[in-house]
Amino acid sequence: MRVMVDPRVNQFLGMVNDLEEAARVLPRWPKRKVEGPSGGGSGSAVLVNVSGLDLAREIHAVLVPWCDLAAEECGLEELDPAWSSWTRTPSGAWVATGGNTAEVARWLRSNAGFVVARAWYVDEMWPELFELRRKARGLMGLWRPSRSMRDLVIEAATSGGTLEEMREVARARRTEG
């Protein structure tokens, strides 16, 4: 007997793995040189990668509420609060500001089937995770435009047409088959 697995589960697992890896790597990503005073005189430079640190924390801060929502709706064991650092918002709510993203990702992987079955997965969660992965790849220099977009840019450059004209041509080609 063959068991059918929702193909969204594998897609989701890949996304969670990518975000976990990004959160692990980004804080140690090669730092960009930022000119300015650093206490060593006006001519000194400070090496920082604040963007990497911030994005790693953002990844964690986005994943935790999704875990909480899934746990609440599916009756699953909640995340261990010790996996996150927390801060209170002006409205009095507590939000995760960073922590052990590897444990949060492990929780998501172990409950992937429940998560992808939720009504909010496709319309809300997936686009948010997709955007986070796009930001991470962009910061690491791993983002590349799609092949069709590169082809359009090349065609526009060689034909003298505008990018919008090339998009119209591409739409017409897709419609025709």
Query: What average pLDDT does the segment 101-118 reach?
Result: 95
pLDDT per position as a tens digit, 46-59: 455 678 889 999 99
pLDDT band at 31 (very low <50, low <70, confident <90, very high): low
Is the pLDDT at 72 greater than 90, yes or no?
yes
The dihedrals phi and psi of 45, each to the nearest 5 degrees, come to: -125, 145
Q: According to the model, what pLDDT value does residue 46 have?
A: 46
Number of Cβ atoms within 10 Å of the Cβ of 68:
13
Which of 111, 102, 40 is CA-nearest to residue 73? 111
* Lowest mean pLDDT segment, chosen from 1-15, 19-33, 99-113, 153-167: 153-167
Instruction: Measure the CA–CA gap between 50 and 66, rounded to whole angstroms.
Output: 25
Length of the chain: 177
Is the pLDDT at 152 greater than 70, yes or no?
no
Residue 6 and residue 116 in contact, taking contact as beta carbons nearer than 8 Å = yes
The model's pTM = 0.70
Instruction: Measure the CA–CA gap between 74 and 174, rounded to whole angstroms.
Output: 41
Is the pLDDT at 156 greater than 80, yes or no?
no
